[in-house]
A and B are shown apart, each in its own frame.
Chain A
Amino acid sequence: MTNKKVKVATVSLAGCFGCHMSFLDLDERLVDLVEHIQFDRSPLTDIEHCSSDCDIGLIEGGVCNSENVHTLREFRKNCKILVAVGACAINGGLPAMRNHISLEDCLNESYVDGIGVENAQIPSDVELPLLLDKVHPIHEVVKIDYFLPGCPPSADVFWKFLTDLLAGVEPSLPYELVHFD
C-alpha cells in the first residue's frame, strides 16, 4: 500500500447522526483506520466542502430539502465511490414516514397547531433550505455505488466494508452483518 491516505468524506443529510455514532463505535479500530484514511468534508472535521479528489463518500440520511440535494451532488461530483449508509439513505427511513402527510399539514402541526406552540409561524427565513414535498432515498437523486443497510449499520459493517476497499477487494458483507433494522 502506498503512503497516500485514502480520502473519506462523510455527511448526514436527513438522518439522526446515528450512523456516524455507529461509525465511531469502531473505537480503537479508528486508530488503525486513520493509518490508512484521512477525513475530508465531514462533521468530524468541520471541513465545509469536499476536496475534488475524495475517494470515498459516506452518506447518511435521505434527501428532505434543497440543501440535501446540493450536498449530495457535491459528494457525487467529488467522490470516486459513493456509499449509502443506513436505512434512511437507502429508503428514506423514518423521515420518509412523513411522505403520506402533505407538507402543509406537517408544517402546521409542527409550527402552528402543535401542542405548546407559542408565537405560531411557519419558518421562512431565506437562510433555511426549502423542504421537499417528500423525503427521498439518495439513489433517486445520484448514482450510488454501494449500500450499507442497517439502522444503524454496526461498526463491524463499516470495518468490513472499508477494510475490503482498502485491501482492494470487492466489498462483501457476511449474512450476520446484513440487517435492515
Chain B
Amino acid sequence: MNKSIVIDGKNVPFEDGQTIMQAATAAGIYIPHLCHNPDFTPHGSCKLCTVKVNGRNCSACTFPASEGQNITNVTQELNDDREKITQMLFVEGNHFCPSCEKTGNCNLQAVAYHLGMTDNHFPHFFENREVDASHPDVMIDHNRCIFCTLCVRASQQVDGKDVFAISGRGIDKRLVVNSESGLLKDSDLEATDCAAHICPTGAILIKRTGYKVPIGQRIYDHSQIDTVTLANEGASHDE
C-alpha cells in the first residue's frame, strides 16, 4: 500500500523523504513558488508555497510529506496571501517590466500573472540599488533581486564555487559577490556557470543575448507558469 497525503481533496502518493512540494509536483499539482527549484536544496524563504497542513501554515518546499496530512493549496485565502507576498516583492525592488530583458520569461512576473495580480497595492520603496556591469559576460541588476538565493545555491552546489551570498538581515539584506572589490569581474563567475543562468527574475543576465526572443513570443506570454513548471520540474523530480 502506497503512502499518501491529501491535497485539496485529492490523494497524492509520496515516498519517505519527499517534501510536500516534491509529492505534489510529481502528481501534477502546482504549488506557486519562487525560491524553490527541485535541483537545489530547498530554502523555504519566499513563502509563496505556503499551504495549510492540517490547519497550520507550512512551506511546502521544506515540509516533509507524511501520512495523515490533509493539505489545502488552492484556496482564496492562500492565494490572497501569495498575491500580497508577490506585491511586496514588486514594491521592495524596482521591477519595471517594460524595460527589463527578462519580461515574458520572468518567474516573478509569471507568478503575478498566475495569481491575477494587476497592481502592486503597497507604496513603492523606490530604493536605490546598483547595477554591476563590470563582468565581461554577465551583469547583475540589483533592482530586480528578490533574494531567492538560487544563484548562491547554484554556485555552491553545481559550480563548486562560492560566488554569491546574501548579506545583512531583514530589509537590509542584499546580494553580495565574493571578491575583494565586491565586483563581479573580480569573482570566479563564468558565463557558463549554472549560477549565471538560474535567476528567476532579470537580476542576473548574460550579456549580448538580450531580445534574441522578441517580446510576445516568450515563455509566459502564452503559457501559464503552472503548466510550464509542471512540465519542467515534474520531469526533474522523476529522475
Contact = CB atoms under 8 A, between A and B. Distances in A.
A91 B95 CA distance: 9
Interface string B153-170: 000000000000000000
Given A180-B109, A180-B112, A151 B97 contact: yes
Contacts of B124: 91-92, 96, 136-137, 140
18 contacts: A94-B98, A94-B99, A97-B99, A136-B124, A139-B119, A140-B123, A146-B118, A147-B118, A151-B97, A173-B118, A175-B113, A178-B113, A178-B116, A180-B97, A180-B113, A181-B100, A181-B103, A181-B104
Contacts of A91: 90, 95-96, 120, 124
Contacts of B123: 140
Given A139-B120, A180-B98, 12 more contacts: A87-B96, A87-B97, A91-B90, A91-B120, A91-B124, A92-B124, A97-B96, A100-B129, A176-B222, A179-B221, A181-B97, A181-B98
B101 to A, nearest CB: 10
Interface residues of B, number: 28
B interface secondary structure, majority: loop
Interface string B84-114: 0000001000111111100110000100110
Give the interface size bracket for A toward B: 20 to 34
Contacts of A61: none
Interface of A: 84, 87, 90-94, 96-97, 99-100, 134, 136-137, 139-140, 144, 146-149, 151, 173, 175-176, 178-181
Contacts of B95: 91
B224 interface: yes
A interface secondary structure, majority: mixed
A133 to B, nearest CB: 10
A139 B221 contact: no
Interface of B: 90, 94-100, 103-104, 109, 112-113, 116, 118-121, 123-124, 126-129, 215, 221-222, 224
